[in-house]
Chains A and B, each alone.
Chain A
């Protein structure tokens, strides 16, 4: 019933959208307000239907209806409520729904705030994109063709060939597969919705550009489109930032950016959107570059659809760690992409002759030329990244089965473009606010250049920069920061609302500084012995077990419990043990790694990286571990580390293997070889054996009812057993008693099992009356003391804080601009 209703609502929304689009078309063509009113109602109806469908989807997720494929595949009954809610956008189908929901909200905004003549066409194109998106989740089958993948399809519908479903089509699994453990993160709750807000908002400039072409009004559209584009830009930037931060602090990607195709998928539309913003700003100021504004607005949205296609069609599944597999949407996605591109570019070409062209050339030193050139650089950057991301398709021109490009491809191309862009931000800003010729500009730039040179020189000396290319890059970045700061300082006096652009450009400069510092000067934290070993590898002196020369360096360090090591002569690092935490994920360990300054002066701190078993993929015989790094954030540098292995993890793996090998019914034949050891302990004493610390605290009383009547003496030892390094311990109370039977004294002292170790036990064998000590017999555990160790991957990453600072300034600058442009737009109406 719910499945039927869900599909009904989705398809009713689809029908409403189609009807609304038709209505908007007539309204746009003939200016008939009747059609506009009806279409608005249909649009609202579409929203209601989709809201109802979303409610149903949320309902079946929250009530664990595992007969639905979507619920089975992304959730499980033990999932916390917050992750059940985020499972809504955990899969492809649900994420399409989130995208459409935001798009509908934006539609209401456009209805209210868009004026004629753009109102009809804008809403027509917005609805058109919604039709495509809705078709992705429709789930209707037309003959052999399946239109979209419904989030409400049942297990049997989703996998008709599964044998157990053929024998019993009504089979409902007890539990779902659960959300991937890596996605059980608060970031999962906020990152995707913000991303889809950005995707939905980036539709708006496209719609306005199309409306301008349709209505042949090529100038006025940028004023209302600009705040929307800036909004899309901020949303995408925030999503990219959150994704980068998430990857860095919890996903152990090792950094905030890796040129992964899915990362690129949100970055390219941002670049093209930003190029569009530049073109729109000149168009608004001086009625030029109409063509560029329109083409960038179209391309920014095409980029979103294209990247959606890349990540959702399964094309990238070999080259990306986090793309989706094909849901059977390949053809539909191609159609969507083709439609958006052909309609967009087709209309542009159709109207090309009419488009106003510039009467006289802009001078090189004019704000028009500089801003336009800036947009072009952003566009080229986007082009390079699209090319790299498209390697599975475009790479076929070169090789048969193409791999993704090396990371160096992206770095080599983005760096020079970034240098050019940094320099142009300053020239552009100086020209934007004042008409200048070469001479006055040179005079104006004298001080900024001087200060930038001084700062660059200081950076080179302090940071020990040897690479000439980096020096040029640093100079350009400092120039962007200083030059734009000078302009900002002047603008604040005029009107603080004007500083959006300069603030953004300062943020860009700072971001460039942070990127270089954090990526080129990243350092592994290693101790002296590993460093010597690596040096030997470099000299070619190390051979492996087969006698071949080793070429790969060791990039982690091993720490034994409470035995500190000195790293880089700076830190004294100690492994202080671990805590077992069972609240969030059963079996999760939190390690304590203490950092002290090597010279003893300064602050000490503790990092707590975690290791946890992956619930969704661990089995009885095989535990899958995942790690959660810990990052100490500092102004100057971050310390990033994760536990790559530990004696605890190793032991758990062995136990899992043993218990899998030991089949019930097979009698153990190793009984005679069980290790037995005897220890004597006085009160308060601790003995170490194997991985345990055993402390004898005191005696405790024995409840009479537990004993037989003829007992003469009965005491219990109050022992405390802990795994070394762990701060949790278990009490063990072995009994020692003497009783009388047939006029003879017998002892009764049953062995007490050690929890978690089936064959191991502790027996209380006798009391030493002279000193109050006890004798124990420990079975099944080796007497040898086993080291407790951790394997750490630790890195020092300088100036990550600067990357974040740059990002925040970019966001702040764009936000200021939104308010400024929005304010002016509002005053007009």
Chain B
């Protein structure tokens, strides 16, 4: 009984520590554009800066726009895919990629959209009714 118990405990501790170690490595923290330089797979949260040019270019086959991160840094973001569904209505964006020469190259992009499954926040609600009444 005793040796079995010891082996069992070692196995459990081993498994758990390996799992947690690996888990710790596979997550990262959300950063701003300045912290993102030199990072691989940086997650930056921010808002689309709609005052500047954006759009999909047929020549370079990429979608580019400007994004303001939570600390107010504005950077150009390049996304090598067509403009995602729901882009303009997203009230928050998460871009995942890397910073190169002041431009953020996003490999992935998550959009937090108020109307996807969520309830409307009041600001959006006001806008919606103002247009209709």
Interface residues of A (CB under 8 A from B): 73, 91, 159, 161-164, 171, 173-175, 177, 180, 182, 252, 317-319, 321-325, 327, 380, 383-384, 387-388, 391, 394-395, 397-406, 408-409, 412-413, 544-546, 548, 551-556, 558, 614, 616-617, 619, 622, 624-627, 644-645, 791, 793
Which A residues touch B62, using CB under 8 A? 552
Extra 4 A-B pairs, beta carbons < 8 Å, given A177-B128, A408-B26, A409-B26: A177-B120, A391-B23, A398-B24, A402-B29
Given contacts A403-B29, A556-B61, A627-B85, contact A409 B23 (CB under 8 A): yes
Which B residues touch A383, using CB under 8 A? 19
Which B residues touch A391, using CB under 8 A? 23, 27
Given contacts A403-B30, A409-B26, A412-B22, contact A318 B45 (CB under 8 A): yes
Cβ contact of B28, chosen from A175, A399, A614, cutoff 8 A: A399
Given contacts A180-B116, A552-B62, contact A405 B26 (CB under 8 A): yes
* A162 adjacent to B122 (CB under 8 Å): yes
Cβ contact of B23, chosen from A159, A321, A388, A551, cutoff 8 A: A388
Q: List 29 A-B contacts (CB under 8 A).
A: A91-B119, A159-B125, A164-B129, A174-B132, A175-B132, A177-B120, A177-B128, A252-B85, A323-B117, A324-B118, A383-B19, A387-B20, A391-B23, A398-B24, A400-B29, A405-B23, A406-B26, A406-B41, A409-B26, A546-B103, A548-B103, A552-B78, A556-B61, A556-B81, A614-B86, A617-B86, A619-B131, A627-B85, A791-B82
Interface residues of B in 46-88 (CB under 8 A from A): 56, 58, 60-62, 78, 80-83, 85-86, 88
* A617 adjacent to B115 (CB under 8 Å): yes
Measured between C-beta atoms, what is the minimum distance from A408 to chain B in Å? Answer: 7
Cβ contact of B30, chosen from A182, A324, A401, cutoff 8 A: A401
* A645 adjacent to B119 (CB under 8 Å): no
Measured between C-beta atoms, what is the minimum distance from B79 to chain A in Å? Answer: 9
* B115 adjacent to A616 (CB under 8 Å): yes
Judged by a CB distance under 8 angstroms, whether B110 is at the interface is yes
* A552 adjacent to B105 (CB under 8 Å): yes
* B30 adjacent to A413 (CB under 8 Å): no
* A398 adjacent to B27 (CB under 8 Å): yes
Which B residues touch A175, using CB under 8 A? 132
Is chain A's interface secondary structure helix, strand, loop, or mixed overall? loop
Given contacts A552-B105, A554-B61, A617-B115, contact A318 B27 (CB under 8 A): no
A319 vs B20: C-alpha distance in the bound complex, in angstroms? Answer: 20
Which A residues touch B41, using CB under 8 A? 406
Which B residues touch A556, using CB under 8 A? 61, 81-82
Task: Please give me the residue from chain B that is nearest to A616 by CB atom.
Answer: B115
Judged by a CB distance under 8 angstroms, whether B34 is at the interface is no
Interface residues of B in 88-116 (CB under 8 A from A): 88-89, 92, 94, 100-101, 103, 105, 107, 110-112, 115-116
Which A residues touch B122, using CB under 8 A? 159, 161-162
Given contacts A404-B27, A406-B26, contact A552 B126 (CB under 8 A): no
* B56 adjacent to A645 (CB under 8 Å): yes
Measured between C-beta atoms, what is the minimum distance from A392 to chain B in Å? Answer: 10
* B94 adjacent to A318 (CB under 8 Å): yes
Most A-side CB within 10 Å, residue of B80, B119, B128, B129 = B119
A554 vs B116: C-alpha distance in the bound complex, in angstroms? Answer: 29
Measured between C-beta atoms, what is the minimum distance from A148 to chain B in Å? Answer: 15
Given contacts A403-B28, A408-B26, A556-B81, contact A548 B100 (CB under 8 A): yes
* A387 adjacent to B29 (CB under 8 Å): no
* A73 adjacent to B119 (CB under 8 Å): yes
* B27 adjacent to A544 (CB under 8 Å): no
A680 vs B78: C-alpha distance in the bound complex, in angstroms? Answer: 48
Cβ contact of A546, chosen from B80, B101, B117, cutoff 8 A: B101
